[in-house]
Each structure stands twice: as C-alpha cells, then as structure tokens.
Amino acid sequence: MKITSAEVFVGGPGKNYVTLKIMTDAGIYGVGDATLNTRETLPAAYLKDYLIPCLIGMDPRNSEDIWQYFYRGAYFRRGPVTMAAIGAIDMALWDIKGKIAGLPVYQLFGGKSRDGALVYAHATGANLDALLDTIAHYQSKGYKAVRVQCGIPDMPEGGYAIAKKGEDAKHYITDFGLMPDEEIWDSEKYLKYMPIVFERIRERFGADLKILHDVHHRLRPREAAAFGKEIEKYNLFWMEDPTPADDQSALKLIRHHTTVPIAIGEVFNSIWDCKTMIEEEWIDFIRVSATYAGGITHVKRIVELAALHNVRTGFHGAPSHSPISMAAQAHLNAWAPNFGIQEYLVLGTKECGALFPSQHSMENGMFYVSDTPGLGVDFDETEAKRYSFDRRYHPIVRLEDGTMWNY
Ligand SMILES: [Mg+2]
C-alpha cells in the first residue's frame, strides 16, 4: 500500500482550519488537522514544501516509522509549526489504519475504558452576575463541569480572558483582531477578586459543580502558590496554567505550597516539554493536544508516561481545534485509563458540521465517540471551496505601566 498524494486546505467557518488529506493507492484516504491557531499558514507551508514530497510512495500503515522519519529525521526538531504538521500526518495515518481494519481508532489502542467522556464548557462573564447566569445556562444544558472566567472590577478593559468590553459573553471568545488587540492586566486586582467569585459560585451552585479556572499564565510562581493556597477551600477541579510553561520548576514551588490540582500543557509540543513536571509529579492534569503535540502517536506516549505518575488527561479543546483533532482526542479519551476531562469548544455550527461530517455526539456534558471506522470524521472538499485564509491575531497583554506580559 502506498501514499499517492496529499493536499492541504486552509480555511473554514470562523476559523482558519488547516486540513490535510492523504490519498492511497487502495482508494482509502485519511484526514488530519494542523490548525496552529493564529499562525495557520506556517504548518500548511511546512507540509506542502517539505513533508508531503517525502510522504509520496511511503506505506501509510507504517505510522510509527513515518512519525520518526519526520521528527527524528529532521535536524531542527520540535516547535509548534513542525509538530502541528507531523501531527496532521499522524492523525491521517491513524484514520487510514482504522479504515483498513474496519474499526474505530480507539479499538486499535485497546478498546473503550468508558462510554462517555466528561467535557467542560467555558462560562465567561464580563462581571460576576453575568458569569453566574452563564454557569446556570450550561448547568441547564447538563454540563457537570464548567471553566469560569470573570471580568475583574477596575481592571482596565475588563482585563482578563473576556469577550469584548461590556459584552455579556455566553461563550469564551477571544477577540481575534485584524491586528493584535491589547489587554491591560493587574495581578493584584485579580488576586483580590477571584476568591470572591469562587465563594459566590459555591453559594449559588453548591458543592457538586466541577469548577475549573484558567489563570492564563498571568501569575508569578510565588503569587500562584499563594493563590492556590487561598482557594483550596473552594475545591476546584483544577487551576490551569498558573505560570508560563517555559519554566517547569515554577510548578514545583506552587506544588509545594498548595493542594489545588494543577493543569498545564496546552502550548507544549513534545514529551520533553512535560517530562520533568510529570515525573516529579508537580501537576495533576496534562493539557497537550493531538494537533500541537505531534498527533496520536506522540500524545499517546505522553498519556502513558502521565499514567505512571497519577497525572490525568485534560486535552486542550479550544475552538481552533477542528473536529478532526477533536475526534483524534475523543478516541484517546475513550481508551485512556488515566482520562480526566476534555475541553470541548468546537464551533458546533451547521457550516462546521457540513465541512466536517461526523457521527460523534455530545449529550449532557459528555462526549460519545462514534463507531465509524477510522477517526469518524470526514472532510467535504466542495464545502471547503467556500472558505479561504483570513489572518487573525490573539490579543497581547501589557501591565498598566506598559510592560509586556503573558497572554
Ligand atoms: Mg487555557
């Protein structure tokens, strides 16, 4: 069996999805997702200019060797561009493998460990009352776990992971501007206000709601340690990205001061980015994704390392992940003995469903993987013709005195 051609498409409804389609001489094809949010054309170019010419003629069944060929075989390894491109190839090869076997991909890992996978939604409020209403909205739809983000009073621009000024956001939507939007951040105001937010949430929704919160890399290690200690009594499901991930040992300081569960890793690209914090057991959840961390082959390896150290999964699932990478993660979630939770924010629009037809389903805050052979997601090339690349940026963050800070 041989790979005969591969094509990359960039575009989609509201997102620049980067979709790879690999064709074989057996008439079977596979699809993969290389969407590197706000830098989408780069993995697309890396695929077209460097990887696809090598892929032609390879046996698609040798997904491990092909992964090693593109990772180990490259002099300059790792990084989000490279790993998103390799990840898309890897997903497509697993899709092909499943179709050859006539089995959903999770069966090739060892079958299901559970029927439904717990997911969490994003509840964001420009202020506390708006946040509480948004949580109630998700609870009424059956969600058991919600990520809560709240506008901070007196924070310039509303400050923090919030939809455009003053809007009562029903979903977490970063403002992806034509040029980078600017947010102003003040850690002192945030640290004073967030415990009040958790207090009010527990008062209104009781002890059972699973509360997640994303610090979005905004704190210094000592601040994050003190914050974690202060909010222990609210029993969060996790505190996410307390500090920037570049410094793994910062997690050690946080861990030694608080029992609040720590989740990190959505910007990690390889097992080497998370190795120390997993082996030292400084974290509770690993947040890598099939797109940014080299596809199913590599993420599965990370999950297995994590399982040795009581670290559970909590894969990234921002709207920039196309239904293809979300399906790849859904198969891993169905299998992983150390599954924790899945972030799930696919743009569930009619247009998105038409571009990526699938039988996967969501019900009462649980994701159910379909039994269609392969990844269980298709890609409609006719629909794809409606879309083209549209450059967008994440916001940037500054402190009040103008100092650049971490988004
Ligand atoms: Mg996050």
Exposed/middle/buried for 247, CB within 10 Å: 0-12, 13-18, 19+? exposed
Structure tokens at 132: 């509480």
* Residue 13 near residue 351, CB atoms below 8 Å: yes
Every domain range in the chain assigned CATH 3.20.20.120: 109-374
* Residue 288 near residue 315, CB atoms below 8 Å: yes
Ligand 1 centroid, distance to 126 Cα (angstroms): 18
What pLDDT, in 10s, does the model give residues 273-332? 999 999 999 999 999 999 999 999 999 999 999 999 999 999 999 989 999 999 999 999
What pLDDT, in 10s, does the model give residues 189-202? 999 999 999 999 99
Exposed/middle/buried for 284, CB within 10 Å: 0-12, 13-18, 19+? buried
Q: What is the pLDDT of residue 349?
A: 86
Every domain range in the chain assigned CATH 3.30.390.10: 3-103
Ligand 1 centroid, distance to 214 Cα (angstroms): 6
Q: Measured between alpha carbons, how far apart are the two ends of the chain, in Å?
A: 45
Q: How many CB atoms lie within 10 A of CB 371?
A: 12
Ligand 1 centroid, distance to 291 Cα (angstroms): 15
177 φ/ψ sector (left φ>0, alpha ψ -120 to 50, else beta): beta
- Residue 137: strand pairing partners: none
Residue 301, phi then psi, degrees to nearest 5: -65, -40
Active site members: 160, 216
Q: What is the pLDDT of residue 157?
A: 57
Report the topology of domain 3-103: Enolase-like; domain 1 (3.30.390)
What is the rounded average pLDDT of the residues 387-407?
Answer: 92
Query: For the chain, what is the mean pLDDT?
Result: 93
Ligand 1 centroid, distance to 316 Cα (angstroms): 7
What pLDDT, in 10s, does the model give residues 228-285? 999 999 999 999 999 998 899 999 999 999 999 999 999 999 999 999 999 999 999 9
Ligand 1 centroid, distance to 375 Cα (angstroms): 25
- Residue 185: strand pairing partners: 399
pLDDT band at 180 (very low <50, low <70, confident <90, very high): confident
Q: What is the pLDDT of residue 246?
A: 87
CATH of domain 109-374: 3.20.20.120
Residue 163 has pLDDT above 80, yes or no: no
Looking at residue 151, the DSSP 8-state letter turns out to be: P
What pLDDT, in 10s, does the model give residues 370-381? 999 999 999 999
Ligand 1 centroid, distance to 61 Cα (angstroms): 34
